Amino acid sequence: MDAHPSVNDPVLELALRHAREQRDEITLWLAAQVLMTDDVALADDKLQDRLLVLQDRVENMMRARYGLPDRDAPREHA
Amino acid sequence: MNSHEHDVNFVNDLDVALSSTRVLRLALNVLYDGMEELYDRASDAAAKRRFHDLMGEVHQHLSKAEADALSRCGLAEFFTVIKPLSPLSMPSPEAVKEITAAVSALERHGLLALQSDALIRDRDVRGSGVEGGAEA
Protein backbone atom coordinates (compact mmCIF):
# COMPACT_ATOMS: atom_id res chain seq x y z
CA MET A 1 0.00 0.00 0.00
CA ASP A 2 1.39 3.38 -1.01
CA ALA A 3 2.09 5.90 1.70
CA HIS A 4 -0.45 8.70 1.98
CA PRO A 5 0.98 11.90 0.49
CA SER A 6 0.42 13.78 3.74
CA VAL A 7 2.59 11.40 5.77
CA ASN A 8 5.42 13.34 7.37
CA ASP A 9 3.92 16.61 6.17
CA PRO A 10 5.43 19.12 8.62
CA VAL A 11 2.55 21.59 8.16
CA LEU A 12 -0.02 18.95 9.01
CA GLU A 13 2.04 17.80 11.97
CA LEU A 14 2.26 21.38 13.22
CA ALA A 15 -1.49 21.93 12.78
CA LEU A 16 -2.29 18.78 14.73
CA ARG A 17 0.15 19.73 17.45
CA HIS A 18 -1.46 23.12 17.78
CA ALA A 19 -4.88 21.46 17.89
CA ARG A 20 -3.74 19.28 20.77
CA GLU A 21 -2.35 22.31 22.58
CA GLN A 22 -5.59 24.26 22.25
CA ARG A 23 -8.20 21.67 23.10
CA ASP A 24 -10.34 24.10 25.09
CA GLU A 25 -10.66 26.58 22.24
CA ILE A 26 -11.20 23.86 19.66
CA THR A 27 -14.01 22.49 21.79
CA LEU A 28 -15.68 25.90 21.70
CA TRP A 29 -15.11 26.23 17.95
CA LEU A 30 -16.69 22.81 17.37
CA ALA A 31 -19.62 23.64 19.66
CA ALA A 32 -20.38 26.70 17.51
CA GLN A 33 -20.03 24.53 14.39
CA VAL A 34 -22.54 22.01 15.78
CA LEU A 35 -25.05 24.77 16.49
CA MET A 36 -24.58 26.14 12.97
CA THR A 37 -25.52 22.78 11.46
CA ASP A 38 -28.93 22.83 13.15
CA ASP A 39 -31.79 23.09 10.66
CA VAL A 40 -33.16 26.28 12.19
CA ALA A 41 -29.75 27.92 12.26
CA LEU A 42 -29.16 26.92 8.64
CA ALA A 43 -32.44 28.53 7.64
CA ASP A 44 -31.79 31.71 9.61
CA ASP A 45 -29.07 33.79 7.95
CA LYS A 46 -28.84 36.27 10.82
CA LEU A 47 -28.46 33.53 13.41
CA GLN A 48 -25.91 31.84 11.20
CA ASP A 49 -23.92 35.09 10.90
CA ARG A 50 -23.96 35.65 14.66
CA LEU A 51 -22.72 32.13 15.33
CA LEU A 52 -20.01 32.70 12.74
CA VAL A 53 -18.93 35.85 14.58
CA LEU A 54 -18.69 33.82 17.76
CA GLN A 55 -16.69 31.14 16.00
CA ASP A 56 -14.35 33.75 14.52
CA ARG A 57 -13.79 35.12 18.00
CA VAL A 58 -12.69 31.67 19.16
CA GLU A 59 -10.35 31.42 16.19
CA ASN A 60 -8.92 34.85 17.00
CA MET A 61 -8.22 33.67 20.55
CA MET A 62 -6.14 30.83 19.09
CA ARG A 63 -4.47 33.19 16.64
CA ALA A 64 -3.57 35.60 19.42
CA ARG A 65 -1.87 32.82 21.34
CA TYR A 66 0.50 32.25 18.44
CA GLY A 67 0.98 35.92 17.65
CA LEU A 68 -1.02 35.74 14.43
CA PRO A 69 -3.23 38.63 13.23
CA ASP A 70 -7.00 38.40 13.64
CA ARG A 71 -8.88 36.42 11.02
CA ASP A 72 -10.26 39.53 9.31
CA ALA A 73 -7.15 41.65 9.70
CA PRO A 74 -5.74 42.98 6.41
CA ARG A 75 -3.01 40.73 5.07
CA GLU A 76 0.25 41.79 3.55
CA HIS A 77 0.56 40.60 -0.04
CA ALA A 78 3.61 38.50 -0.83
CA MET B 1 -46.34 -2.96 34.39
CA ASN B 2 -44.57 -2.44 37.70
CA SER B 3 -43.07 0.80 38.99
CA HIS B 4 -39.52 -0.06 37.90
CA GLU B 5 -40.61 -0.90 34.36
CA HIS B 6 -42.53 2.34 34.24
CA ASP B 7 -39.44 4.28 35.31
CA VAL B 8 -37.28 2.55 32.71
CA ASN B 9 -39.82 3.18 29.96
CA PHE B 10 -40.13 6.78 31.05
CA VAL B 11 -36.37 7.32 30.83
CA ASN B 12 -36.25 5.54 27.46
CA ASP B 13 -39.06 7.72 26.15
CA LEU B 14 -37.24 10.82 27.34
CA ASP B 15 -34.10 9.60 25.66
CA VAL B 16 -35.86 9.09 22.34
CA ALA B 17 -37.80 12.35 22.55
CA LEU B 18 -34.71 14.44 23.10
CA SER B 19 -32.40 12.61 20.70
CA SER B 20 -32.64 15.28 18.01
CA THR B 21 -31.77 18.15 20.34
CA ARG B 22 -29.37 16.44 22.73
CA VAL B 23 -26.20 17.27 20.82
CA LEU B 24 -27.36 20.84 20.20
CA ARG B 25 -28.11 21.34 23.90
CA LEU B 26 -24.70 19.93 24.79
CA ALA B 27 -23.02 22.23 22.27
CA LEU B 28 -24.89 25.26 23.61
CA ASN B 29 -23.92 24.45 27.19
CA VAL B 30 -20.27 23.97 26.22
CA LEU B 31 -20.24 27.23 24.30
CA TYR B 32 -22.07 29.17 26.97
CA ASP B 33 -19.91 27.89 29.81
CA GLY B 34 -16.71 28.39 27.84
CA MET B 35 -17.40 31.83 26.44
CA GLU B 36 -19.41 33.47 29.21
CA GLU B 37 -16.40 34.10 31.41
CA LEU B 38 -14.45 35.56 28.50
CA TYR B 39 -17.23 37.97 27.58
CA ASP B 40 -17.91 38.88 31.20
CA ARG B 41 -14.23 39.76 31.65
CA ALA B 42 -14.20 41.91 28.52
CA SER B 43 -14.91 45.63 28.71
CA ASP B 44 -16.99 45.63 25.52
CA ALA B 45 -20.50 45.80 27.00
CA ALA B 46 -22.17 45.66 23.59
CA ALA B 47 -20.33 42.48 22.64
CA LYS B 48 -21.21 40.96 25.99
CA ARG B 49 -24.89 41.82 25.47
CA ARG B 50 -24.84 40.41 21.93
CA PHE B 51 -23.31 37.19 23.22
CA HIS B 52 -25.91 36.74 25.95
CA ASP B 53 -28.71 37.62 23.50
CA LEU B 54 -27.43 35.01 21.05
CA MET B 55 -27.12 32.33 23.71
CA GLY B 56 -30.59 33.19 25.00
CA GLU B 57 -32.05 33.02 21.50
CA VAL B 58 -30.53 29.62 20.79
CA HIS B 59 -31.67 28.43 24.21
CA GLN B 60 -35.25 29.51 23.45
CA HIS B 61 -35.15 27.76 20.10
CA LEU B 62 -33.86 24.56 21.71
CA SER B 63 -36.39 24.75 24.54
CA LYS B 64 -39.21 24.96 22.01
CA ALA B 65 -37.80 22.05 20.01
CA GLU B 66 -37.46 19.99 23.20
CA ALA B 67 -41.00 20.79 24.30
CA ASP B 68 -42.35 19.92 20.86
CA ALA B 69 -40.47 16.62 20.89
CA LEU B 70 -41.77 15.75 24.34
CA SER B 71 -45.33 16.62 23.40
CA ARG B 72 -45.12 14.40 20.32
CA CYS B 73 -43.98 11.54 22.52
CA GLY B 74 -47.04 11.92 24.70
CA LEU B 75 -45.16 12.10 27.95
CA ALA B 76 -47.99 13.19 30.16
CA GLU B 77 -45.64 13.61 33.07
CA PHE B 78 -44.52 16.87 31.53
CA PHE B 79 -48.02 18.22 31.11
CA THR B 80 -49.41 17.80 34.62
CA VAL B 81 -50.24 21.40 35.40
CA ILE B 82 -52.60 21.07 38.34
CA LYS B 83 -51.29 20.57 41.86
CA PRO B 84 -53.41 18.47 44.23
CA LEU B 85 -55.37 20.29 46.88
CA SER B 86 -54.37 19.69 50.45
CA PRO B 87 -57.29 18.39 52.56
CA LEU B 88 -55.75 20.20 55.53
CA SER B 89 -56.07 23.59 53.91
CA MET B 90 -58.95 23.44 51.49
CA PRO B 91 -59.86 26.63 49.65
CA SER B 92 -63.14 28.40 50.29
CA PRO B 93 -66.33 26.99 48.70
CA GLU B 94 -66.31 29.87 46.21
CA ALA B 95 -62.75 29.08 45.24
CA VAL B 96 -63.58 25.37 44.90
CA LYS B 97 -66.40 26.31 42.52
CA GLU B 98 -63.98 28.35 40.42
CA ILE B 99 -61.42 25.54 40.42
CA THR B 100 -64.06 22.98 39.46
CA ALA B 101 -65.24 25.15 36.59
CA ALA B 102 -61.67 25.67 35.40
CA VAL B 103 -60.82 21.97 35.52
CA SER B 104 -64.08 21.14 33.74
CA ALA B 105 -63.18 23.60 31.01
CA LEU B 106 -59.74 22.02 30.62
CA GLU B 107 -61.26 18.56 30.43
CA ARG B 108 -63.91 19.70 27.96
CA HIS B 109 -61.17 20.97 25.65
CA GLY B 110 -59.08 17.83 25.99
CA LEU B 111 -56.28 19.55 27.85
CA LEU B 112 -56.14 17.29 30.87
CA ALA B 113 -53.41 14.68 30.70
CA LEU B 114 -52.84 12.07 33.36
CA GLN B 115 -49.71 10.03 33.90
CA SER B 116 -51.57 6.91 32.87
CA ASP B 117 -52.33 8.49 29.48
CA ALA B 118 -48.68 8.21 28.46
CA LEU B 119 -48.50 4.53 29.36
CA ILE B 120 -51.75 3.73 27.56
CA ARG B 121 -50.65 5.57 24.44
CA ASP B 122 -47.24 3.98 24.63
CA ARG B 123 -48.74 0.50 24.84
CA ASP B 124 -51.27 1.22 22.09
CA VAL B 125 -48.65 2.63 19.76
CA ARG B 126 -46.34 -0.33 20.26
CA GLY B 127 -49.24 -2.74 19.85
CA SER B 128 -50.31 -1.21 16.55
CA GLY B 129 -46.76 -0.92 15.22
CA VAL B 130 -47.14 2.83 14.70
CA GLU B 131 -44.21 5.01 15.71
CA GLY B 132 -44.59 8.44 17.26
CA GLY B 133 -48.31 8.76 16.56
CA ALA B 134 -49.36 9.85 20.03
CA GLU B 135 -50.81 13.29 20.57
CA ALA B 136 -49.97 15.52 23.48
Q: What is the pLDDT of residue B126?
A: 52
DSSP secondary structure of A36-58: HTSHHHHH-HHHHHHHHHHHHHH
Instruction: Say what the pTM is.
Output: 0.61
pLDDT tens digits, residue range A41-73?
778 888 888 889 889 988 988 888 888 888 877
Chain A residues touching residue B31 (CB < 8 angstroms): 28, 31-32, 35, 54
DSSP secondary structure of A8-45: T-HHHHHHHHHHHHTHHHHHHHHHHHHHHTSHHHHH-H
Domain ranges (residues) in chain A: 23-65
Q: What is the DSSP letter of B38?
A: H
pLDDT tens digits, residue range B70-124?
776 655 555 555 667 777 788 899 999 999 999 899 888 877 766 555 544 444 5
CB atoms within 10 A of CB A56: 16
Domain ranges (residues) in chain B: 3-128
With CB atoms and an 8 Å threshold, state whether A54 touches B54.
Answer: yes
Q: What is the pLDDT of residue B120?
A: 47
What is the distance between the alpha carbons of residues A55 and A28, in angstroms, rounded to a whole number? 8
The SS3 assignment for B71 reads helix
Q: ipTM for the complex?
A: 0.75
